[in-house]
Amino acid sequence: MSIVESFRKAITFFEELHREGLIIDYALIGGLALSAWVKPRTTKDVDLVVAVSRQITWKDLASSIETRLHKKVYLQKGSKRTTIQEKLSFMIGSIEVDAISTKDFELALEAIENAVTAEIFDKNVKVITPEYLILLKLIPLSPQDKIDIRALMKKADIKILKMLAEKHSLLHKFDSMLTKGKNVS
């Protein structure tokens, strides 16, 4: 199964869960979301942020994936010190699908609520805006995240970005990254 087919299958599955009311909503984040806004880059996974309905747990969602897709799901739990409280991963074809829960993660829930629809691989899918993508990338801030943030800055509304960064206690980290980036360049 090609990467495009794997992507379409993953999105179709989450669309079904949404129609059935098992998840409230979801949106694409990560490298594929980045490609909706700037020059695409290669990525090995499909990253989603997912809000589950109150009637099911994250573990129920994992069971649904295992039952319906016949895929082994790996659950990860966060701690009091981590931003992400629940994450699950599974393979579809040759790509990994990583889903992050909005549980106790206001920034992620807000990102879904403000997402826009974009066409990726001939599928209409909700994609978070550049401002929210930058903020979510600030949390782990890997070397690739720094590159992605610099590319996204050209598409972001800086005034909105700074307001959101302050609201979610990420302004210092954002300003620090920008300052370091100017000294390196």
Same-domain pairing of 139 and 107: no
Q: Are residues 11 and 90 in the same domain?
A: yes
User: How far apart are the C-alpha atoms of 136 and 83, rounded to whole Å?
Assistant: 10
75 plus 20 within the same structural domain = yes
Contact between 167 and 106 under an 8 Å Cβ cutoff? The reply is no
- Average pLDDT per block of 10 residues along the chain, 185 residues long: 88 95 94 88 88 91 95 89 88 93 94 94 93 94 92 95 95 86 47
Dihedral of the alpha carbons of 78, 81, 84, 85, in degrees to the nearest 10:
40
Residue ranges making up the domain that contains 162: 130-185
C-alpha–C-alpha distance, residues 148 and 46, integer Å: 16
> Do 77 and 136 have their domain in common?
no
pLDDT score at 39: 84
Torsion angle of C-alpha atoms 108, 83, 64, 121, degrees rounded to 10 = 50
Q: Both 16 and 92 in a single domain?
A: yes
d(CA 113, CA 14) in angstroms, rounded, equals 16
Whether 63 contacts 69, CB under 8 Å: no
